């Protein structure tokens, strides 16, 4: 997260480290939830699919 007090070389270093460990770097300003929403989007969709699949199975097994 970039703020007024962030050193100019800190984001560059963070991106280099993220790429080195095979992560997708994201630099954001001060915002509420945008980056977290994007990170959890994929896992949330998978969880929803699992829940729907379980509900459908239960409906048909009664």
**Whether pTM exceeds 0.85:** no
- Whether the pLDDT of residue 61 is over 70: the answer is no
Residue 24 pLDDT: 78
Tell me the C-alpha distance between 33 and 21, whole Å: 24
Residue 1 pLDDT: 64
Given the structure tokens 């509900």, which residue do they identify? 55
pLDDT digits (tens, 9 = 90+) for 4-55: 788 888 888 888 988 899 887 777 777 666 667 777 777 788 888 888 887 7
């Amino acid at each position: 997260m970039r703020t007024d007090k962030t050193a100019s070389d800190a984001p560059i270093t963070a991106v280099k480290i993220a790429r080195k460990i095979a992560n997708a770097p994201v630099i954001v300003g001060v915002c509420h939830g945008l980056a977290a929403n994007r990170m959890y989007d994929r896992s949330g969709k998978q969880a929803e699919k699992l829940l729907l699949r379980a509900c459908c199975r239960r409906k048909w097994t009664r």
